[in-house]
C-alpha cells in the first residue's frame, strides 16, 4: 500500500490497542446489563447504538494511524476554531436533555462538541509547548494566553451547563504544567488565581444544583433525595458485589433500578456489583496499563509534539477515570464526568478511541525518522 511504511506495521502498537479494545468490549457488555429497557431482543437499544459507535471509533482509529501525527500539529489551530464555533452553536441550536443543552443533532446521531473540545485543547497545547523556542522557565505572562484559550471553551461548556466536562477540560489543560518548567512564584500565583476563580464561580456562575452537590459531598446527610442518594446507592451496589460479584445481569441494585444514571456516570457501580472486586480491579488495571504505557510512549517519542500529545491523552484518561471512579466509590463529590470507554455516549467513546489512536500513532512512528 502506498503511503504506509512497512515499519509502521512492524511497530504496530499492540498494548494500547488491545487494552483499549478490551475496555470498549467490557463497556458494551456492561451496558447490556445497565440498560433498564429491554424491549425486543437480548441486546438493548443503548448497547446496540454504543456498538455502532464503537465500530465507527475503531475504523477512525485505524484510519488515523495512516496519517502522520505531525501533520496534526498544523491543523491544531483550525480544529480549535471549529470546536469553539460548535460550542457556541450548541448553545443556540443544541438539543436539550434533562435541562442541559449539550448535543447537536446530526440525523440519527447526536454530536457532543464538548467531547471534541478535550482533543482540541490537547492538540493545541502540544503544539504550543513543542514550538516554544525559549528554554527559560515559563513565567506568569507566558501563561496568560493559554489561560484564555482554556477559559473560552470551558466557559461555553459551563453555560450548557456541564460542569463535569468543563472541569475535565480545565484540569487536563493545566496538567501540561506538570511536564514543563514553571517558575515557583508563578505556580503560587496560579494557585491563588485558581482559588479566586473558584470563589467567583461559586457566587456568580454555579447553579444551585451544582452548589448542592458540593454541599452534599461535604455533608451527605443534607440531601437524601439528590446527590447523596446517588452516592449511597452507588456504594451499596459496588460494596455488595464482594470479591467475585453477583454475576452478569444479576446485580439486584442495578436490575431493580435503584441506581441513578446507571448507563452514564454510574456505569462503574453496575460493573462493581456484578463482577465484584476482581472485575473492577481488572478494569482499573487496564486503565493503569494505558496510562503507564502512554507515559512510556511520551518518553520514547522522537519529537516534543509527540511527547506532549501523549502526555495530554494520558492526562485525559487519568482525570476522567479518577474523578468518575472516585465519585462512584465515595471518595470524591458527585460530578457528572463519564467514565472513559465505559459510559454510554457516542461522542465520548469516539473521542476516547481517537485519542488512543493518536497515542498509538506517536508510538508507531518513534523509529521512523
Partner 1 sequence: MNRLTATGSPADAVVERRLTAVAVLVVAVWMLLLTRLFYLQVVQGDVYRISAEKNSVRTQRVDAPRGVITDRNGEVLVGSRPSFDVLVVPHETEDVPTTLSRIAGLTGRDLETIQASYGQPRGRGRFQPQRVAHDLDRDQLARVEGRLWALGGVLTQVTPVRGYRYGDSAAHLLGWLGEIGAEQLAKKEFQNYRRGDIIGVGGIERLLDTDLRGRPGGRNLLVDAHGRELQLLSSVDPEPGRNVVLTIDHRLQQVAEEGLTRQHKSGAVVALDPRTGEILALVSHPAFDPNEFAIGVDPARWRELTTDQFRPLMNRAVQGQYPPGSTYKVVTAIGGMEEKLINTHSEVTCGGWFRLGRRTYRCWKQGGHGVVDLQVALVQSCDVFFYKLGLELGVNRLAYYARSLGLGARTGIELTGEMAGLVPTKEWKERRDGTPWVEGDTVSLSIGQGMNLWTPLQLANAYASIVNGGTRYRPHVLKRIEEPDGRIVQSVEPEILGELPISPATLAAVRAGLVGVVHDPHGTGAVMKSLPGGVVAGGKTGTAQVVALPQGARADVEDTTHFERDHAWFVTYAPADSPRIVIAVLVEHGGHGGSAAAPIAREVMTRFLENEADLYAGNRP
- Among residues 248, 252, 249, 219, the alpha carbon closest in space to that of 237 is found at 252
**Which residues partner with 104 through β-bridges?**
111
- In whole angstroms, how close is the CB of 232 to partner 1 at the nearest point? 6
- In whole angstroms, how close is the CB of 183 to partner 1 at the nearest point? 13
- In whole angstroms, how close is the CB of 344 to partner 1 at the nearest point? 19
Residue 16: CB partners within 8 Å, gap ≥ 6? 290, 293, 294, 297, 356, 359, 360, 363
Name which of 217 and 287 has its Cβ closer to partner 1.
Answer: 287
Using CB atoms within 10 Å of the CB of residue 40, give its burial: 0 to 12 exposed, 13 to 18 middle, 19+ buried: exposed
- In whole angstroms, how close is the CB of 14 to partner 1 at the nearest point? 18
- In whole angstroms, how close is the CB of 201 to partner 1 at the nearest point? 18
- In whole angstroms, how close is the CB of 50 to partner 1 at the nearest point? 22
- Among residues 137, 131, 237, the alpha carbon closest in space to that of 177 is found at 137
Triad 299, 301, 306: Cα angle to 5°: 110
Farthest CA pair distance, the chain? 64
Name which of 315 and 351 has its Cβ closer to partner 1.
Answer: 315
Whole-angstrom Cα Rg for the chain: 21
- In whole angstroms, how close is the CB of 196 to partner 1 at the nearest point? 26
Name which of 55 and 242 has its Cβ closer to partner 1.
Answer: 242
Name which of 53 and 315 has its Cβ closer to partner 1.
Answer: 315
For 161, which DSSP code? T
Alpha-carbon distance of 55 to 178, in angstroms, equals 35
- In whole angstroms, how close is the CB of 49 to partner 1 at the nearest point? 20
Name which of 170 and 269 has its Cβ closer to partner 1.
Answer: 269
- In whole angstroms, how close is the CB of 366 to partner 1 at the nearest point? 7
Q: Is 337 left (phi over 0), alpha (psi -120 to 50) or beta?
A: beta
Determine the 3-state secondary structure of 220 from DSSP.
helix
Name which of 287 and 344 has its Cβ closer to partner 1.
Answer: 287
Q: For residue 101, which phi and psi values (nearest 5 degrees)?
A: -110, 90
Name which of 148 and 178 has its Cβ closer to partner 1.
Answer: 178
CB distance 344 to 25 below 8 Å: no
The dihedral formed by the CA atoms of 227, 229, 287 and 35, expressed in degrees to the nearest 10:
-110
Q: Is the peptide bond before 41 cis (omega within 30 degrees of 0)?
A: no
Name which of 210 and 351 has its Cβ closer to partner 1.
Answer: 210
Name which of 10 and 134 has its Cβ closer to partner 1.
Answer: 134
- In whole angstroms, how close is the CB of 320 to partner 1 at the nearest point? 13
Cross-sheet strand order for the sheet of 95-97: 95-97, 100-106, 109-111
Alpha-carbon distance of 115 to 113, in angstroms, equals 5
CB distance 340 to 260 below 8 Å: no
Name which of 63 and 250 has its Cβ closer to partner 1.
Answer: 250
- Among residues 206, 321, 191, the alpha carbon closest in space to that of 215 is found at 206
Amino acid at each position: 500500500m502506498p503511503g504506509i511504511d512497512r515499519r509502521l506495521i512492524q511497530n504496530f502498537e499492540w498494548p494500547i490497542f488491545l487494552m483499549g479494545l478490551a475496555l470498549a468490549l467490557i463497556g458494551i457488555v456492561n451496558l447490556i446489563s445497565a440498560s433498564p429497557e429491554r424491549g425486543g431482543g437480548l441486546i438493548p437499544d443503548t448497547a446496540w447504538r454504543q456498538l455502532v459507535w464503537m465500530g465507527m471509533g475503531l475504523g477512525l482509529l485505524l484510519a488515523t494511524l495512516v496519517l502522520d501525527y505531525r501533520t496534526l500539529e498544523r491543523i491544531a489551530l483550525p480544529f480549535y476554531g471549529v470546536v469553539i464555533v460548535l460550542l457556541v452553536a450548541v448553545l443556540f441550536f443544541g438539543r436539550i436533555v434533562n435541562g442541559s443543552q449539550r448535543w447537536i443533532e446530526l440525523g440519527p446521531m447526536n454530536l457532543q462538541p464538548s467531547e471534541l473540545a478535550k482533543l482540541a485543547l490537547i492538540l493545541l497545547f502540544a503544539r504550543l509547548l513543542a514550538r516554544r523556542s525559549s528554554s527559560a522557565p515559563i513565567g506568569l505572562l507566558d501563561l496568560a494566553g493559554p489561560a484564555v484559550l482554556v477559559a473560552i471553551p470551558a466557559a461555553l461548556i459551563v453555560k450548557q451547563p456541564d460542569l463535569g466536562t468543563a472541569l475535565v477540560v480545565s484540569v487536563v489543560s493545566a496538567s501540561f504544567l506538570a511536564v514543563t518548567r514553571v517558575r515557583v512564584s508563578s505556580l503560587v500565583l496560579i494557585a491563588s488565581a485558581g482559588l479566586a476563580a473558584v470563589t467567583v464561580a461559586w457566587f456568580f456562575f454555579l447553579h444551585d444544583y451544582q452548589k448542592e452537590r458540593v454541599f452534599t459531598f461535604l455533608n451527605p446527610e443534607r440531601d437524601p433525595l439528590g446527590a447523596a442518594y446517588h452516592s449511597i446507592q452507588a456504594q451499596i451496589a459496588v460494596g455488595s458485589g464482594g470479591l467475585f460479584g453477583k454475576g452478569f445481569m444479576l446485580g439486584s441494585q442495578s436490575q431493580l433500578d435503584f441506581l441513578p444514571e446507571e448507563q452514564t456516570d454510574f456505569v462503574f457501580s453496575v460493573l462493581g456489583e456484578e463482577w465484584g472486586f476482581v472485575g473492577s480491579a481488572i478494569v482499573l488495571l487496564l486503565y493503569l496499563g494505558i496510562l503507564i504505557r502512554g507515559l512510556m510512549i511520551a518518553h520514547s517519542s522522537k519529537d516534543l509534539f509527540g511527547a506532549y500529545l501523549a502526555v495530554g491523552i494520558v492526562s485525559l484518561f487519568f482525570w476522567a477515570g479518577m474523578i468518575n471512579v472516585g465519585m462512584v466509590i465515595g471518595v470524591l463529590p458527585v460530578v457528572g464526568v463519564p467514565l472513559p470507554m465505559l459510559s454510554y455516549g457516542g461522542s465520548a467513546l469516539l473521542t476516547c478511541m481517537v485519542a488512543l489512536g493518536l497515542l498509538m500513532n506517536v508510538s508507531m512512528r518513534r523509529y521512523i525518522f
